[in-house]
Chains A and B, each alone.
Chain A
Amino acid sequence: MTPAPAEQFALRLHKVSKAFGGVQALNQVDFEVRAGEVHCLAGENGCGKSTLIKVVTGVHQPEQAGLIELFGEAVDRITPVQARQRGVSVIWQDLALFPHMSVAENIAFDDLVGLRPQSVRYREMVERSGEVLSRLGVTMDLAAPLNDLPIAQRQVVAIARALMNDARLIFMDEPTASLTQSETDRLLDIVRKLSAAGVAIVFVSHRLAEVLDIAERVTVVRDGNLVGVYPTEGMTQARLGELMTGHLIEHEVVARDLPDADVVFEAKGLSRQGEFADVSFDIRAGEVLGLTGLIGAGRTELAHVMMGLRPADTGEMRLEGASYRPGSIRDAIKRGLAYVSEDRLSLGLLQKQSIADNTVISILQKLTTATGLISDRDKAATVNHWIRELGVKIGSPEDAISTLSGGNQQKVVLAKWLATEPRLLILDSPTVGVDVGARAGIFRIVRTLAEEGLAILLISDEVTEVMYHSDRILHMADGRIRQTYDPRDITVPQLEERIYA
């Protein structure tokens, strides 16, 4: 691998500013990454992280008077191509790979698109990409189209592509957002390997536990301003969250007993071939039941059966004492179930449609008058009510939902389902892509709903999430319920140990 560079710093930014229109995206920010260091860049959505990366890689030009130094050399007016030539690579969350091309072609892509016309030497290309992968300690079918690979392996391909360009400074934007725990662990191993070989890594992630695990130092940015640079040694998640948001994030167990509450939903011996088996549990009115376990444990599949998206093979479900056997998601909604999907981008919301339409999509019948027409007045009133109630920050209800931040989008999803007046709300990984401050806001809403008597099933693979927001925790593994925990009787490390054991 590339020898450790003689320079002490891979990157130094001094008083760099950038404004878009009237918005100061970066305000006199200093940022330093040592050679071979794993450095975390932390901050909420819109705090200026992406702008900072884009300034370093030449996508945006910083304003006058700022100083950028790459590997000890001052750079002025760098272009994206020059940045790459100097050894800077960015792996964006969407990876920017070519789905129909092979692994080898993706890794060697930048060599293939040289300006001089030349025939592609496939053998050499395959050899060189294989070599890069073996440096990462990974074996992969080099001829396989990227499409066929799981997201975790595509991530590795993107890293290999950066190494192929002799990258010495790699920015990784939310690399673990769609990975399972074991995939994340493997990725973090690769990051450590790169760091040991002298490649500096700047890691951007919402998952604070990960940040503290992998990085040596963390730079916190808030509203375009530098908050500070801190060693991760001795730093806690709560403290880091506080630095990012500017206010204290409470983390305490809120579990309570509900002996007198009615059972809203009950599953008995529910099974579905290849997905889960013999699942039995109940949820009471006003209860938040946490459901955790590794991805692939059968949690989402269970939620799908509850919502009528697919049938159970055996077992029975009861809703408020009556037999419940939904034939479609419409049946489930009619009976009072609501489902916040884990995939907000493609299933939870219609990204191109307006905030208003996304809010009322599930209650059209209620808004339709005797004439068969949707009442515009009732529609506007419903939308305004929920936007106010949940504190969604919007410009106009007619704006496309995609203009909102992840946290505000998720609030609209909640609004949509709450408008159906559900009895049981299923939240499937409700904080994916939602930043720390907004997460707290969403869980405040969840707690209020529970106190008003709504039964809530909270599915999450983040142990802290179920720990601090549930009344009871179900642990699911390999399609079976392993154990039920009371959050008051267990600690986060103990629970993590049982799940990841």
Chain B
Amino acid sequence: MTALLSRMSRIKTGPHGENLGLLAMLGLLVLLFSLASPRFLTGANLGSMGFQMPLLGLLTLAMLAPILSGGLNLAIVFTANICGLTLAWTIMQFGGAEAGIGAFILGCALALLVGALAGAAMGAVVAYVGAHPILVSLAMMIFLRGLGEFLTRGGDISGFPDYMRVLGHGSLIGIPVPLILFGLIALGWHVLLRRTPHGFSVYMTGSNMRAAEYAGLNAKRTLVLIYMLSGVLCAIAGILMAARFNSVRVGHGEAMLLITVLACFLGGIDPFGGHGRVAPVIIALVILQVLSSGLNLIGANQHLATAVWGLFLIAVMVLRSGRLRRLIDVFSGKDK
């Protein structure tokens, strides 16, 4: 047990240590839940987890990039909602449930455009006006919510063509389609952030914007672009949401906003920007999903799962601070 604890406390020591620590935690949780409930390690449960996680996952990736750039995007959920509305509105124009695949593709394109515009607008204000990202994205969030509620009169739009179900509920060789979509996007996100000049600029800008400018990076353009891409991911999440719920309502998924922040920090993202990777965040997402599904299976209340998430993050913070490692060293007699 001490070995495991000390491994877990080393989460912060490096990219590999970070993944290993989180994977150890994940392993422990899977073990506990499969002992507690025989239904945990069944195809049905894993499948339902595979359908549930991608939505939170996409929104978390949309949150991740602005945090790396030293900011935050509080408008992710409502951007997703507005993009979903754009898709729904387009489909309704072409006959609702009777609309052809062309209408769906056009709707998706418009949704992506709306997401990109909302993101780029935020990025431009953050970069060129110098306003704080929390304030800018909060303003955008309130604007989008108000706009959405005004347009829908607070109700929902439903009745989409059947083929949209494939996106939300279909499987390909046994793997949920949303999970495949999420996997591809996560991979792309990883490559974008770690391997391209733009991703490099995001990390540098997040670390120290003025120093990045002095080194010749276009930090302002970097910010506009990263918020725009964040908006595009929100749009994809919005499309997925419409497909999964077969309806669009402003406020859908609102509770996920702060959970995405939680997942980022659980995945070792520096809250002040400049450091963090995609892989540990994905593991953190899986951990959160396992916690919630596992607790659900052993009959715990869904609200309790949320409370456990909170406790879990606090525990991880404590584990990551060097102090715990020192305590472990003292108790295991390594310290003189």
| A residues at B contact (CB < 8 Å) | 329-330, 333, 339, 341, 346-353, 357, 361-362, 364-365, 368, 372-374, 416, 420
The reply to whether B204 and A329 form a contact with Cβ atoms under 8 Å apart is no
The reply to whether B204 and A357 form a contact with Cβ atoms under 8 Å apart is yes
Given A347-B210, A372-B196, A374-B197: A352 in contact with B215 (beta carbons within 8 A): no
A346 to nearest B CB, angstroms?
6
Please name the residue on chain A nearest to B195 by beta carbon.
Answer: A373
- Complex Cα distance, B208 from A68, in Å, reads 44
Question: Which residues 208-228 of B have a CB within 8 angstroms of A?
Answer: 208, 210-218
- A364 contact set on B, CB distance < 8 A: 197, 200-201, 217
Contact of A352 among B201, B208, B214 (CB under 8 A): B208
- B200 contact set on A, CB distance < 8 A: 357, 361, 364, 374
Residue of A339, A361, A372 with most partner-chain B CB within 10 A: A361
- Complex Cα distance, B214 from A143, in Å, reads 36
Contact of B207 among A339, A347, A350 (CB under 8 A): A350
- Complex Cα distance, B270 from A352, in Å, reads 11
The reply to whether A352 and B197 form a contact with Cβ atoms under 8 Å apart is no
- Complex Cα distance, B207 from A368, in Å, reads 22
Q: What 17 new A-B contacts, CB under 8 Å, besides A361-B200, A362-B215?
A: A330-B216, A339-B214, A341-B214, A347-B210, A347-B211, A348-B214, A349-B211, A351-B208, A352-B274, A353-B274, A361-B212, A364-B201, A368-B197, A372-B196, A373-B196, A374-B196, A374-B197
Contact of B213 among A329, A352, A368 (CB under 8 A): A329
Given A346-B210, A347-B214: A365 in contact with B274 (beta carbons within 8 A): no
Q: Is B191 an interface residue, CB under 8 A from the partner?
A: yes
Instruction: Give the secondary structure class of B's interface.
Output: helix
Question: Which residues 117-163 of B have a CB within 8 angstroms of A?
Answer: none
- Complex Cα distance, B213 from A333, in Å, reads 12
The reply to whether A350 and B197 form a contact with Cβ atoms under 8 Å apart is no
- B275 contact set on A, CB distance < 8 A: 352
Given A329-B216, A362-B216: A348 in contact with B211 (beta carbons within 8 A): yes
- A353 contact set on B, CB distance < 8 A: 203-204, 207, 274
The reply to whether B207 and A352 form a contact with Cβ atoms under 8 Å apart is yes
- B196 contact set on A, CB distance < 8 A: 368, 372-374
B329 to nearest A CB, angstroms?
14
- B213 contact set on A, CB distance < 8 A: 329
- B212 contact set on A, CB distance < 8 A: 350, 361
- B195 contact set on A, CB distance < 8 A: 373-374
Given A372-B196, A416-B215: A346 in contact with B208 (beta carbons within 8 A): yes
Please name the residue on chain A nearest to B205 by beta carbon.
Answer: A350
- A420 contact set on B, CB distance < 8 A: 216
The reply to whether A346 and B211 form a contact with Cβ atoms under 8 Å apart is yes
- Complex Cα distance, B196 from A349, in Å, reads 20
- Complex Cα distance, B216 from A181, in Å, reads 32
Question: Which residues 55-110 of B have a CB within 8 angstroms of A?
Answer: none
A108 to nearest B CB, angstroms?
33
B107 to nearest A CB, angstroms?
29
* Those 10 A-B pairs whose CB atoms lie nearest each other, nearest first: A364-B197, A333-B216, A373-B195, A361-B215, A350-B207, A362-B216, A347-B214, A350-B208, A352-B207, A362-B215
A89 to nearest B CB, angstroms?
30
The reply to whether A330 and B214 form a contact with Cβ atoms under 8 Å apart is no
- B274 contact set on A, CB distance < 8 A: 350, 352-353
Please name the residue on chain B nearest to A329 by beta carbon.
Answer: B216
The reply to whether B211 and A350 form a contact with Cβ atoms under 8 Å apart is yes
17 A-B residue pairings within 8 Å (CB atoms): A330-B216, A339-B214, A346-B208, A346-B211, A347-B210, A350-B207, A350-B212, A351-B207, A353-B204, A353-B207, A353-B274, A357-B204, A361-B204, A361-B217, A364-B200, A372-B196, A374-B195
- A349 contact set on B, CB distance < 8 A: 211
- A352 contact set on B, CB distance < 8 A: 207-208, 274-275
- Complex Cα distance, B218 from A365, in Å, reads 12
- Complex Cα distance, B215 from A373, in Å, reads 20
The reply to whether B218 and A330 form a contact with Cβ atoms under 8 Å apart is yes
- Complex Cα distance, B252 from A200, in Å, reads 70
The reply to whether A329 and B214 form a contact with Cβ atoms under 8 Å apart is yes
- Complex Cα distance, B275 from A348, in Å, reads 19
Given A330-B218, A362-B216: A350 in contact with B204 (beta carbons within 8 A): yes
- A341 contact set on B, CB distance < 8 A: 214
- A329 contact set on B, CB distance < 8 A: 213-214, 216
B249 to nearest A CB, angstroms?
39
- A351 contact set on B, CB distance < 8 A: 207-208
A332 to nearest B CB, angstroms?
8
Residue of B191, B196, B201 with most partner-chain A CB within 10 A: B196
A114 to nearest B CB, angstroms?
30
- B214 contact set on A, CB distance < 8 A: 329, 339, 341, 347-348
Residue of B211, B213, B274 with most partner-chain A CB within 10 A: B211
The reply to whether A365 and B197 form a contact with Cβ atoms under 8 Å apart is yes
Please name the residue on chain A nearest to B208 by beta carbon.
Answer: A350
- Complex Cα distance, B210 from A365, in Å, reads 20
A330 to nearest B CB, angstroms?
5
- Complex Cα distance, B200 from A420, in Å, reads 17
The reply to whether B203 and A357 form a contact with Cβ atoms under 8 Å apart is yes
B255 to nearest A CB, angstroms?
33
